[in-house]
Structure 1
Amino acid sequence: MKVLMVDDDASMRRLVQTVCEEAGWDCRTAAGGEEACALFQREWPDVVVLDVMMPKVDGFEVCRRIREVDENVPVLFLSARDGIIDKRIGFSFGGDDYLVKPFNEEELVMRIEALVRRSRRSRRDGEAAAPERPERFALGPFTFDEVRHEVLKGGEPVVLTPKEFQLLHHLASHPGAVMGKDELIEELWGEEYLDGAISIAVYVRKIREKIEENPAKPAYLKTVWGVGYSFEA
């Protein structure tokens, strides 16, 4: 699990990072609001632990910006401000929980675990409710056949390797959705390959050479810089 911890207090960042790492989690830290927003879109963490009182861009504003790009990631405010008004503001900006400093380290771990567990359960329920894409479907000039592992463009077959087909089919099954490198590796190869030498960029380049009129200026398989890839047709 990946945690993003945001606080202008270096000692607090080190404390939370130590607590997270002892729990077996990967913790990235940011010292301010602008840095946090940039780091969020680069790392796409599973949960955000967010201080309120920071110079220039405070925690409430950071939460508001996060909600513009991700409605579901859990946000836990960690603040010395314990007034009910502060808590109400935090929740109104899209926060999911509010823990007052100083805090018990074990309680922090439990709250993070509860938030992520609730988020994942909600995501699974949403996926279960969503209609499944049929085994054969058309998207723009493309036809995808999952049973035959076949892609047609304008009625002509596109010759793809099995992994190229899986990658393209997965992206086309979620048209317009931006998927990060780690997300694609975990989905197509498995979590155990996340630290391996698999290069999604190489697969993308080879697919573009087979489906794009101009691979240097792709019209279908697009790169969203700093985030991942998407397919639109």
Structure 2
Amino acid sequence: MPTVLLVEDEAALGLIVKDSLEMRGFTVQYAADGEEGLRLFRQQPPDIVVADVMMPRMDGFTLAEHIRAQSPAVPILFLTARSQTADVVRGFELGGNDYLKKPFSMDELIVRIKAQLSRLPAAPAAQGPLPLGRYRFDYPKQKLYLDDGRAEDLSNREAELLKCLYDQRNQVLARTAVLRELWGDDSFFNGRSLDVFITRLRRYLKDDPQVQILNIRGIGYKLIV
């Protein structure tokens, strides 16, 4: 039975979501602000975190930073009234896996929770960093190493996107496929967020001109190695 840590400062909404999740078989830990949410997380790490962004005492973004310092793998789903691209990108940079704009339906929230839980990896097989030209990509540790000793720390979303590109290297990765896999849908708004992350990955890989992320017009991207 999956455990959800729900962090929501609107008491009425929090209780509705908690009751709805429990009726569908989830175990729910409920916190009314980020500080309480972090305390509950440290006491008993859940299978997934569902957190509001705008909260007193500690907001959802700060909570995500603390959680990521302790656990790089637990999914974090933000509930937010914010819809600006910069806010959503910041959430992904801080380790968020998905977001849901308020107001939302419980059915959609549950679908998104189940989608994130289904992506949790099994115990990983022991393997070293993945070769990428002059780079080595350590996906579990979210690090990109250059052969001169430099290292780049990747955000959770950057690492997931680079892994998708790496798995399909030298082949076309459909834009709609990666949006649905990592963002949950292929809306225009999510597409703008994807463009930002592609630009950042290109910047990280700029020291090896043989490694390129190409735009395949109207289709998607191709990682050339």
TM-score bucket (shorter structure)? 0.5 to 0.7
What is the distance in 2 between the residues matched to 1:60 and 1:123?
27
TM-score normalised by length of structure 2: 0.54
Shift of 1:50: 0.5
- Give the partner amino acid of 1:58: D
Task: Map 1:70-81 to 2 at 5 A.
Answer: 70-81=71-82
What is the distance in 2 between the residues matched to 1:19 and 1:115?
18
Structure of larger gyration radius: 1
The answer to whether the 8 A contact 1:19-1:109 is kept is no
Q: What SS does structure 2 have at the residue aligned with 1:4?
A: strand
Task: Map 1:13-162 to 2 at 5 A.
Answer: 13-119=14-120, 122-124=121-123, 126=124, 129-130=125-126
What is the distance in 1 between the residues matched to 2:44 and 2:14?
17
> What is the match of residue 216 of structure 2?
none
Unaligned runs of 5+ in 1: 132-233
What is the distance in 2 between the residues matched to 1:13 and 1:43?
19
What is the distance in 2 between the residues matched to 1:52 and 1:123?
29
Unaligned runs of 5+ in 2: 128-225
Q: What SS does structure 2 have at the residue aligned with 1:123?
A: coil
The answer to whether the 8 A contact 1:60-1:90 is kept is yes
- The one-character-per-residue Cα deviations of 1:38-95 (angstroms, maximum 9, x if unpaired) are 1001121000001000112110000000001000000000111122111111001100
TM-score normalised by length of structure 1: 0.53
Q: What SS does structure 1 have at the residue aligned with 2:69?
A: helix
Shift of 1:5: 0.3
What is the distance in 2 between the residues matched to 1:37 and 1:31?
11
The answer to whether the 8 A contact 1:51-1:78 is kept is yes
- Give the partner amino acid of 2:126: A
The runs of 4+ residues in structure 1 deviating greater than 3 Å are none
Q: What SS does structure 2 have at the residue aligned with 1:14?
A: helix
> What is the match of residue 159 of structure 1?
none
Shift of 1:123: 3.0
- Give the partner amino acid of 2:86: I
What is the distance in 1 between the residues matched to 2:78 and 2:110?
13
